[in-house]
Chain A
Amino acid sequence: MTTETSTEYEKYYVPEKSKLAVCATIGLILSIFGASYGLNEMTFGDGSGSWGILWVGLAIFAGTLFVWFRTTIRENIAGMNSAQLKKSYVLGMFWFIFSEVMFFFAFFGALFYVRNLAGPWLAGEGDGGRMNGLLWEGFQYSWPMASTPQESIGGAGNQLIANNGTFESYDKSMAFGDASAWYAWLPLWNTLILLSSSVTVHIAHLGLLDGNKKKFNLWLGLTVLLGIIFVFVQAYEYYEAYEHFGLTLNSGIYGSTFFMLTGFHGFHVMMGMTMLLIQWIRSVKFGHFTADDHFGFEASSWYWHFVDVVWVFLFLFVYIL
């Protein structure tokens, strides 16, 4: 086999030794150590109080990420990133978002499984039917689940199988109820807010492509603002759920799926918002980004669109259907 060295070639930048990975490792491992022991103390009452370790770990982790991104940004400004390296970043971000999609897929899968299969079986339908008469006599299935199997048999004390907690259903679910009061239904407003934020971030991108930094800063700032409003509305919704609807994490599988899906979504909104906010500060304060070099912004905006699409599915399958 013959090999010769190709001529025109931009060198791929391979960074020198770096302490970043080790610092990030220390942060991550301290975090999970603190979280595990802290949770165990909370639930089982043993282990030494360790929440402090979690906070130290998270602080180290966040600090490392800050330095890490600052380093890559500086490398880019110094012109060390060839077009090929930039493509590696693009691929990295794309497949990272794909992995996030799959994370949500697990929770949506759980929702579909419970709603279409396990729920009806618990109530005596189909092949799993006998369980109902044996264990959960009288349980009727509906979605949102009006009463948990445990409640149907008169509480945890009557359970024939191991008891793993008390599950009491809600007084009022989050599903769309009264059509005449649609304007008071928060999820609808939140949908509008999040959808329009996808539009504003796109307008910001168009502005940047035109080289219009003022337009970019304005619309990007607006996007962040919409994100913040979304999070506050969501938080208010949780407050209502806990305080007035009796809907909690303990409200059986409906509460579990509702809070886990919207909760992880909300967490991702906060992440995306932070990313966009950082890009906004970079642009406003440091004048970063040009029409043909703005990957930091582009990656954050992809992430934002992803969060938005997840919400559309949430709105459909958690709130409406």
Chain B
Amino acid sequence: MGDHHHGPAKGLSRWLFTTNHKDIGTMYLWFSFAMFILGGSFAMIIRAELFQPGMQLVDPLFFNQMTTLHGLVMVFGAIMPSFVGLANWMIPMMIGAPDMALPRMNNWSFWILPPAFLLLASTLFMEGGAPAFGWTFYAPLSTTYAAPSVTIFIFCIHVLGISSIMGSINIIATVMNMRAPGMTYMKMPLFVWTWLITAFLLVAVMPVLAGAVTMMLMDIHFGTSFFSAAGGGDPVLFQHVFWFFGHPEVYIIILPAFGVVSQIIPAFARKPLFGYDSMVYATASIAFLSFIVWAHHMYTVGMPVAGELFFMYATMLIAVPTGVKVFNWISTMWRGALTFETPMLFCLGFLVLFTIGGFTGLMLSIAPADFQYHDSYFVVAHFHYVMVAGAVFSMTAAVYYWLPKWCGKMYSETMGKTHFWISFIGFNLTFFPQHFVGLAGMPRRIPDYALQFADFNMMSSIGAFIYGSSQILFLYNVIATIVSGKPVSDDKVWDGAEGLEWTVPTPAPYHTFETPPKVDASHAHS
């Protein structure tokens, strides 16, 4: 291959055939944004239907398809790929590697996603409709009672799993094998650490999800009885297998977000991260605990009391390492020279709102109380606080933070701040009232509701439209920056930022660190 430096190829073939981590990262990011808009429009339909009590716009079956596809597209299409995109862009630059460890496989991990989602979305037009059994696809709704589209759904889940597993193996190999000399594990930026641990989680649980959908496939088409009591199986078995995947999955979503926040807060506090080591250990303990708490999603299903108690206490334990993290972020800001640029605003929004979500999680973890909360809007409020204000806010922060490094242009601070405040207000208007209707007993996943919930639901819907439209502003901001943002030329875009990615030119050249930098001993992590 020689030593020649080459830029990207021209035209479509650049993207189809690329092996470059930055190209692949860019594709992941744009794809996940497209899915974010698609999943968002499903949510708009849900909120439009719930704007007023009574059946308004769509029929119940279609409503169920919307809740199902909204969840699936957001979890598997928007949030997860967005963080994989970020990992692709940033991990090699953060550890001083020339690229990801297995570049061709990297491209494959990406390219199987868009057609899989296309296929999944196409089920909307099938006879019997798209999957309508909720993103958790409990049997027997997803087996005995499912429309034929479930078969396509099953294979799509397989493909998403293959993509995630290959992506994770790539990240593990990159981090374990490609760190620049001197970049020891305990010097790695926290974003790299959290992704390494996330990748372990993914390799461990995506195959279990594959097992779950395979059992469904066999029950539907080949007469097995895994989830059918008539043959000696058990529908509750499905829930166990699903949540063995599902709970680690929520940490798969949030750990990289923790990593992002741990990069950005020190930069705008102009202080090193407080308690780096404890952050690493807290991340590892969260990952470990996430394997032994799954049945907190199943308190009402009829488990033996010993099981309820075990899963209750194990779940509460997770609050400890999570608390460590929250306090570390706060301590990082303590007496820092704080400024509030857009990435920092989104991180602060994350900090406040994620903590609220953590508290509602703690409430839900109390088994006897969960008998009241379960499957109500309180749960919906809980997980949107952790997934939207948690994962999505931190992803948004990441885009504003690294966008200047990616494209060499600065976004407009006014526009960014406007985006933040509209998001922040819209989000809270949408989801805060859902705590109240949930506690008062409004069930989730139902297209109609009792009259006393009308006011809060109207607020929720208005908030959702505001939050939804603020994402158009996000899209505008990103495009405006790329097209006509103010050029930046400093390697280090933010004066408080630390890390190898700020030592390469701005915008980051197509290839970085073709020979690894030497990380000197005095250089600590950011």
Contact = CB atoms under 8 A, between A and B. Distances in A.
Greatest chain B CB density within 10 A among A14, A100, A161, A260 is at: A14
Contacts of B226: 110, 253, 256-257
Contact of A256 (B102, B119, B210, B233): B233
Given A1-B503, A106-B208, 5 more contacts: A22-B111, A95-B168, A99-B165, A150-B230, A254-B232
B229 A122 contact: yes
A205 to B, nearest CB: 23
Interface stretch (B368-376, B392-400, B509-517): B509-517
B228 A165 contact: yes
Given A80-B1, A91-B173, A256-B226, A3 B520 contact: yes
A9 interface: yes
B143 interface: yes
Given A25-B115, A164-B230, A167-B225, A17 B498 contact: no
B442 interface: no
A28 interface: yes
A28 B233 CA distance: 32
A127 interface: yes
Greatest chain A CB density within 10 A among B104, B143, B155 is at: B104
Interface stretch (A37-45, A207-215, A299-307, A308-316): A37-45
Contacts of B260: none
10 contacts: A25-B115, A29-B112, A29-B115, A99-B207, A103-B208, A105-B208, A106-B211, A114-B234, A167-B225, A252-B233
A17 B13 contact: yes
Nearest to B234: A118
A91 B234 CA distance: 38
A128 interface: yes
Interface stretch (B14-22, B78-86, B411-419, B421-429): B14-22
Contact of B218 (A36, A126, A256): A256
Interface stretch (B175-183, B250-258, B276-284): B175-183
A109 B244 contact: yes
Contacts of A161: 229-230
Contacts of B304: 126-127
B7 interface: no
B306 to A, nearest CB: 10
A233 B156 CA distance: 34
Contact of B237 (A32, A88, A114, A149): A114
A295 interface: no
B108 A25 contact: yes
Contact of B18 (A11, A17, A42): A17
Interface residues on A, range: 35 or more
A135 B232 CA distance: 12
A181 B200 CA distance: 46
Contacts of B264: none
B210 A22 contact: no
A207 to B, nearest CB: 29
A20 B104 contact: yes
Given A13-B1, A32-B155, A43-B221, A25 B112 contact: yes
Interface string A1-22: 1111110010111111111111
B220 interface: yes
Given A110-B215, A167-B231, A5 B523 contact: no
A281 to B, nearest CB: 24
Contact of B177 (A40, A87, A131, A256): A87
A163 B223 CA distance: 12
A35 interface: yes
Contacts of A68: 104
A182 interface: no
A122 B302 CA distance: 13
Interface string B446-465: 00000000000000000000
A113 interface: yes
B233 A249 contact: no
Interface stretch (B57-65, B144-152, B352-360, B478-486): B144-152
A175 interface: no
Nearest to A156: B230
Interface in B165-223: 165, 168-170, 172-174, 176-178, 180-181, 203-208, 210-212, 214-215, 217-223
A162 interface: yes
Nearest to A150: B230
A84 B177 contact: yes
A255 interface: yes
B143 A164 contact: yes
Contacts of A95: 168-169, 172-173, 203
A165 B372 CA distance: 35
B516 A114 contact: no
Contact of B240 (A13, A40, A84, A113): A113
A159 B230 CA distance: 8
A248 to B, nearest CB: 8
Interface in A36-57: 36, 39-40, 42-44, 46-47
Given A1-B523, A22-B111, A6 B518 contact: yes
A122 to B, nearest CB: 6
A15 B232 contact: no
Contacts of B466: none
A157 to B, nearest CB: 11
Interface string B124-142: 0001000000000000100
Interface string A158-196: 010111111100000000000000000000000000000
Interface in B43-89: none
B332 interface: no
Contacts of B99: 12, 14
A163 B515 CA distance: 64
A138 interface: no
B500 interface: yes
A102 interface: yes
Given A17-B9, A102-B203, A252-B231, A88 B225 contact: no
A253 B232 contact: yes
Contacts of A124: none
A289 to B, nearest CB: 22
A135 B221 CA distance: 25
B107 interface: yes
A129 B177 CA distance: 54
B17 A118 contact: no
B325 interface: no
Contact of A35 (B155, B212, B303): B155
A104 B246 CA distance: 17
A35 to B, nearest CB: 6
Contacts of A46: 127, 148
Given A17-B13, A88-B177, A36 B155 contact: yes
A121 to B, nearest CB: 8
Given A29-B115, A126-B304, A249-B222, A114 B517 contact: no
Contacts of B17: 17-19, 21-22
B210 A150 contact: no
B342 to A, nearest CB: 25
A26 to B, nearest CB: 9
Contacts of A87: 177
A239 interface: no
B144 A18 contact: no
